[in-house]
Amino acid sequence: MQSDNRTFLVIGAGISGLLIARQIHDAGRNVRVLEKGRGFGGRMATRRMGGGRFDHGAQYFTVRDPRFQFWVDRWMAAGIVRKWFCGFTEERNSEGHPRYIGIRGISDIGKWLSEGIQVSRETQAKELRWNDPGWTVRTDSGAVYSADQLIITTPVPQALELLDGCGVAFPAEAFEALNAVQYEKTLAVMAHLDGPSALPSFGGVKVKESPLVWLADNQRKGISDTPAVTLHSDSVFAQTHWDSPDELRGNLLIDSAKRYLGAEVTHFTCHRWGYARPKQTYGSPFFHHPPSGLLLAGDGFGGGLVEGAALSAINAGGVLLR
């Protein structure tokens, strides 16, 4: 059998990038990940602040596909994930689809996936060049990385920006479909309370009470030792207040959440998610361009949500290693 000496470079250490890298690494191949942020997990993000801990991006995930369940079972066995609740009201708590969370925060999944893999953090890919064959990636610090196969797992508009002028002419139809992938914005507020919140016992509420779509009590989730709530806005509010000061947009969301809080906010901070969730996806689990060795994956392909991003990565891993 022919040996496979291809080198792989992954841009993005969210669930999709790390799951692809994990599969390549576990198959004994050479892979490196570049991540512009400080942490692992991308939008599966947990932040420590003022003694509290907050999941401020993805809050939980569902599992419908056995291929994703395989990974979730490993995370449960490793003691980093548990079932949170089934269904959204206290009455329905034992029914419906299970929701899973990170026991000490959702970002632990990214940390687990990255173990043993070369991940260069605080390293932003800036310029991509196809050298026919192979790729070079220049980063914000001027470092240059080369690989035979390039895998981009950033939100699709960011991937297209990076690919602009890279030296590859992609099929027009695919390019059009990639350009059509769009995301919604969300504003998150992370707020400390001076006492327990009035949220339901398991700690999460999905609402349609504009400008709010979601509230979570990170203490009830078991993530934070102190009362710490996460609020998420709808996309209209996020768009309207994208450039407003935190003082204004944060307080507007906190006022809307008053009846759920049940305690006073002592301090808060805001986070802008420019690509929170895809509102239109690509239509297949990944984009692969074998002539150049380029693959694009992530929730913009897999149908949104953590499971969609993971399935995109699982499908992509299979193709890359075939």
Ligand X SMILES: Cc1cc2nc3c(=O)[nH]c(=O)nc-3n(C[C@H](O)[C@H](O)[C@H](O)COP(=O)(O)OP(=O)(O)OC[C@H]3O[C@@H](n4cnc5c(N)ncnc54)[C@H](O)[C@@H]3O)c2cc1C
Residues at the interface with ligand X (CB under 6 A): 11-17, 34-37, 42-44, 57-61, 124-125, 153-155, 158, 162, 186, 188, 232, 273, 276-277, 298-299, 304-306, 309
211 preceded by a cis bond (ω within 30 of 0): yes
CB of 290 to ligand X, least distance (A): 22
What tokens appear for 245 in the block? Answer: 């000061």
CB of 221 to ligand X, least distance (A): 12
| Closer residue to ligand X (CB): 89 or 194 | 89
Question: Reading across the β-sheet that carries 135-139, which strands appear in turn?
Answer: 125-130, 135-139, 144-147
| Closer residue to ligand X (CB): 57 or 227 | 57
What is the secondary structure of 76-125 as a DSSP string? HHTTSEEEEEESSSSTTTBSSSEEEEETT-TTHHHHHHHTTSEEE-S--E
| Closer residue to ligand X (CB): 162 or 261 | 162
CB of 135 to ligand X, least distance (A): 14
Helix (H) or strand (E) holding 26: helix 15-26
Burial class (CB in 10 A: 0-12, 13-18, 19+), 194: exposed
| Closer residue to ligand X (CB): 108 or 299 | 299
CB of 28 to ligand X, least distance (A): 23
| Closer residue to ligand X (CB): 32 or 36 | 36
Q: How far apart are CA 58 and CA 146, in angstroms?
A: 32
| Closer residue to ligand X (CB): 189 or 193 | 189
CB atoms within 10 A of CB 317: 23
CB of 1 to ligand X, least distance (A): 32
CB of 29 to ligand X, least distance (A): 20
Beta bridge pairs of residue 123: none
Q: What are phi and psi of 150, to 5 degrees?
A: -115, 130
